[in-house]
Amino acid sequence: MTATHSLLVSSLRLGYGDRTVIESLDLTLPPGKITAIVGANACGKSTLLRSMSRLLAPRAGHVLLDGREVHKMPAKELARTLGLLPQSPVAPEGITVSDLVGRGRNPHQRLLSRWSREDDAAVAAALDATHTADLADRSVDELSGGQRQRVWIAMALAQQTDLLLLDEPTTFLDVSHQVEVLDLLTDLNRNRGTTIVMVLHDLNMAARYADHLIALADGKLHAAGEPSAVLTEDCVRAVFGLDSQVITDPTSGKPLMLPLGRHHVAITRP
Amino acid sequence: MSTSLSPTLAAVTGSRVRRSRRRALVIGLLATLVVAAYGVNLMVGETFYPPSEIWRVILGETVPGASFTVGELRLPRATLAALAGFCFGMGGVTFQTMLRNPLASPDVIGITSGASAAAAFAIVVLGLTETGVSAFAIGAGLAVAIIVYTLSFRDGVAGTRLILIGIGIAAMLDSATAYVLSQAAQWDLQQAQRWLTGSLNGATWDETAQVALALLVLGPLLLGQARNLFMLQLGDDTAAALGVRLERTRIVVIVAAVGLLAFATAATGPIAFVAFLSGPIAARIIGSAGSLLVPAGLVGALLVLVADLIGQYAFDIRYPVGVVTGVLGAPYLVYLLIRTNRAGGSL
C-alpha cells in the first residue's frame, strides 16, 4: 500500500502567452481515490494537469503536494511521488517495450548509479500488472493502440509513484480497450492505493470509473464531488451547452448521460 | 504477482543484460575500427611506413624521412581528423536527440555554418590566430543557435519550423563565408576549401591541441547530461514528468555541443554532414539502448578518418575531406526529406 498524499491547488491561475486558461481555481484531490476531470474542449483540463505535475508554472496561486509547492520541489523528488502520462507521448523510433518501461525508473537513478535489482523488479512488476510481459522484447512501433497505451501506463507504473496523473488515457482507443485501460487503473487504485487523477472526454466512462468527479467550465470549477451529485442535466447544460437526460446506469448504478440532440430524440425536451 | 522467481523478472534482467553486452561490444568494435583507421592514415601516403617505424616516431626517436612525414604531417592530420570527427558526431547527435529529428543536425540548421563564417571572418578580415578564431567561432555558433531557436519559437518549438529557418540561416551564412573569402588579400584556394566544405590540409599540432582540450572539457560536461538527453527522446512533457529539468538540461547541452562543434569547425572548417550522419548511423548499429553520445562520436571519428583516406588517395586528384563526406551525406539528406514528405511533415 502506498502512503497517502494531499494534492491541492489554491487560487491557481494558468495561461499560455497572453491567454489566460484557468482563472483562480481551488481544488482538493481526494487521496487514495480515482478522480476524473471533465469539461468541454479547451476548458483547461490538460493545462491543469500539466501544472499539477510541474510542467507549467502558475501565473498566480499554488499547487501544493503535502503542503509543499510542486514548482519549488526538486524535479526528481517530485517525480518519485507524482507521475504524469501526457496525452500523446512519443516513443523514439525502434525502442523496445522493456526499454521504454525501464525509462520510468529515471527518477530513482542517480547520475552514475548502475541499473539495480530494484529497477529490474519494478519494470517486471509493471509489465505483469499491465499484461504486457509477453510484449517486452517487441518494438513499440509494432504495437496496436491499446497495447501501446498499456505499455505507456507500464512505464508510469515503473516510476512507482503514489499519485498518477493521466491526460486522456483512453483517447483513440476502441471501447473494449477503453474499458481495459480503465479497469487496469482501477486495479492499481484498489490494489496499491495509488491516487489517480485523469482527464477524460467520455462523461459516462468518467462517471462509472471515478470516485470523484470534477467538472470545469471556462477555466472555472463548475462542480466537484461524487459522480451522482455532479453529473446532472443542469451540469451538462452548463459545462457543455448540451441538453441531456441523465438516468441511472442499470449495470453500475452510476449516472448515465444521454445527449438530446436535434434529431432522433423521441421525448419532449425539458 | 511478482515474486523473486517471477519469469517476467528473469526475462527483464536477461534482456537488459543482453542489451548492455551488445552495446559494450558495438562500442568496443567501433573503437577498434577508429584505432585501425587512425593507424592506416599514419602508414599510407606517398611513402608507406610500417607500424614499427611509426611506433618509433611516436616514441620520439628520430627516423629519417618518417620523423618529418609521420611526425609533422600525418600524425597531426590523423589526430585532428579523429578528434574533430568525434566532436562533430557527438555535437550532431546531441541536437538530433534534443530536437527529436535527424534533420535538426547542426550542419543543417546553420550552427556549423555560423562557426565557419565567423572563423573565416576572424582570419581573413581581423587577422586573428587560433584562440581568437575559436572564440569567434563559438560565439557565432551560440548566436546562431539562439537566433534559430528564437525565430522558430511560437508556443514551443516545432521541429519542422526550426529546421526550415535553420536551413535559410545556413544558406545566408554560407554566402557570407564566400563573400569574406572573396575579400581575402591573397586568395588561397586551400583556405577557401576549408571554410566552405572542411579540410584537414595543413593541420598543425596547435589546432589539434585546441580541439583535444575542448573535447576534454566539454565532452565530460555533455556526457554528464547523457541520461537527461536520453530521456528527452520521450518528448519534453514525459521527460519532465520523469524528473528531467528541461531548461537546465537544454542550456548545458546546447553550450557544450556548440562548443565542441565550434572548436572542431575552427580547426577543420565545417566538414560536411559528419554531424548529420554520425547519430543516425550509430542509432542504426546500436539500437535504442542507452545514450548515443559516445557511439556517434566514434562513428564521426571513423567517418572523417576514412573519408580523408579516400579523398587523398582513392583518386588521381586529392579532394578535401569535406567533399567526400558531402558526397556520402547528401543522398541521406535527400532520403530523409523524401521520407518526411511521405510522413506528412513529421519524422
Each residue's pLDDT tens digit, B186-239: 656 666 777 778 888 878 888 899 899 999 999 999 999 988 998 888 888 899
Strand partners of residue A167: A199
Inter-chain residue contact A84 with B237, CB threshold 8 Å: yes
As for the ipTM of the complex, it is: 0.88
Q: Which of A53, A80, A99 sits opposite B289 (nearest CB)?
A: A99
C-alpha dist (Å) from residue B6 to A106, A157, B203: 23, 17, 59
Judged by CB atoms closer than 8 Å, whether chains meet at B6 and A128 is answered as yes
- B3 pLDDT band, cuts 50/70/90, is very low
The whole-number pLDDT of residue B70 equals 86
A209 close to A36: Cβ distance less than 8 angstroms: yes
Give the other-Cβ count within 10 Å of A90's Cβ.
14
pLDDT band, very low/low/confident/very high, at B2 (cuts 50, 70, 90):
very low
Q: Which of A90, A118, A87 is nearest to A105 (CA)?
A: A118
Let me know: does B89 contact B299? Beta carbons within 8 Å. yes
| Contacts across the A-B interface (CB distance below 8 Å) | 109
- Put simply, the answer to whether A92 touches B241 (Cβ < 8 Å) is no
In this structure, are residues A52 and A61 in contact, taking their beta carbons and an 8 Å threshold? no
| 142-181 of A, contacting B, C-beta below 8 A | 159
Question: What would the grid cell of residue B203 be?
Answer: 593541420
Residue B4 pLDDT > 60, yes or no? Answer: no
Radius of gyration of chain A (CA): 19
Q: Which of A75, A129, A136 sits opposite B12 (nearest CB)?
A: A136
Digit-coded pLDDT (tens) for A45-55 = 889 999 998 88
Region at B157 (left for phi over 0; alpha for psi -120 to 50; beta for the rest): beta
Average pLDDT over residues B165-191: 82
Torsional class of A202: left (φ above 0), alpha (ψ -120 to 50), beta (otherwise): beta
| CA dist list (Å): B35 to A99, B39, B40, B71, B128 | 31, 6, 9, 17, 34
Q: Where are the domains of chain B?
A: 15-342
Measured between CB atoms, does A115 come within 8 Å of chain B?
yes
Which of 34-73 (B) contact A at CB < 8 A?
A: none
Query: B339 in helix, strand or coil?
Result: helix
**What is the SS3 assignment for B153?**
strand
Residue B235: closest CA among chain A residues belongs to which residue? Answer: A90
In angstroms, the separation between the Cα of residue B345 and the nearest Cα of chain A is 16
**pLDDT for res A1:** 43
Secondary element (H or E) of residue B297 = helix B293-313
Query: Do residues A45 and A37 lie in contact, with contact meaning Cβ atoms separated by under 8 Å?
Result: yes
A139, closest residue in chain B (CA to CA): B288
Q: How far away is chain B from the Cα of A35, in angstroms, using its nearest Cα?
A: 19
Query: CATH homologous superfamily of domain A7-227?
Result: P-loop containing nucleotide triphosphate hydrolases (3.40.50.300)
Non-local CB neighbours of B63 within 8 Å, separated by 6+ positions:
B53, B56, B57, B70
Task: Give the three cell numbers for residue A245.
Answer: 437526460
Interface residue B182 vs chain A (CB under 8 A): no
Fold of B15-342: ABC transporter involved in vitamin B12 uptake, BtuC (1.10.3470)
Chain A CB within 8 Å of residue B336 CB:
no
Listing DSSP states for chain A in one string gives: -PPP--EEEEEEEEEETTEEEEEEEEEEEPTTSEEEEEESTTSSHHHHHHHHTTSS--SEEEEEETTEEGGGS-HHHHHHHEEEE-SSPPPPTT-BHHHHHHGGGGGG--TTPPP-HHHHHHHHHHHHHTT-GGGTTSBGGGS-HHHHHHHHHHHHHHT--SEEEEESTTTT--HHHHHHHHHHHHHHHHHH--EEEEE-S-HHHHHHH-SEEEEEETTEEEEEE-HHHH--HHHHHHHH---EEEEE-TTTSSEEEEE--SSS--SPP-
| CB pair distance less than 8 Å for B241 and A85 | yes
- Which residues of chain A lie closer than 8 angstroms to B96, CB-CB? none
Interface check A187 vs B, CB under 8 A: no
Is the CB of A95 inside 8 Å of chain B's CB atoms?
A: yes
Q: Is A129 on the interface with B (CB under 8 A)?
A: yes
The answer to whether B100 contacts chain A (CB < 8 Å) is: yes
Mean of the per-residue pLDDT values of chain B: 86
Task: Tell how strand A163-167 and strand A82-85 pair up.
Answer: parallel
* Cα torsion A85, A91, A97, A103: sign: negative
Taking CB atoms and an 8 Å cutoff, what residues of chain B touch A133? Answer: 7-8, 11
Using an 8 Å Cβ cutoff, are B63 and B51 in contact?
no
Q: Nearest chain B Cα to A110, which residue?
A: B227
B-chain CB neighbours of A149 within 8 Å are: none
Q: Closest Cα partner for B238 from A28, A38, A53, A73?
A: A53
Residue B19 at interface with chain A, using a CB cutoff of 8 Å: yes
Chain B residue numbers with beta carbons less than 8 Å from the beta carbon of A124 are 2, 6, 8-9, 11-12
Q: Are strands A7-16 and A19-29 parallel, antiparallel or unpaired?
A: antiparallel
Query: Stretch B298-304: mean pLDDT, rounded?
Result: 96
Distance from CA of A220 to the nearest CA of B (A): 23
Q: CA-to-CA distance for A199 and A178, rounded, in angstroms? A: 13
Q: What are the backbone dihedrals phi and psi of residue A131, each rounded to the nearest 5 degrees, phi first? A: 55, 45
| Chain A partners within 8 Å of B289 (Cβ) | 99
Amino acid (one-letter) located at A71: H
Collect all residues of chain B within an 8 Å Cβ-Cβ radius of residue A84: 237-238, 241
**Could you list the pLDDT tens digit for every one of the 270 residues in chain A?**
456 788 999 999 998 878 888 988 999 999 999 999 999 888 888 899 999 988 888 999 999 999 899 999 999 899 999 999 998 888 888 888 988 999 999 999 876 667 788 888 999 999 988 888 999 889 898 998 888 989 999 999 999 999 999 999 988 788 988 998 899 999 999 998 999 999 999 999 999 999 999 999 988 899 999 999 999 999 999 999 999 999 999 999 999 999 998 888 887 665
Residue holding cell 543543417?
A: B108
Of A89, A107, A127, the CB nearest to B238: A89
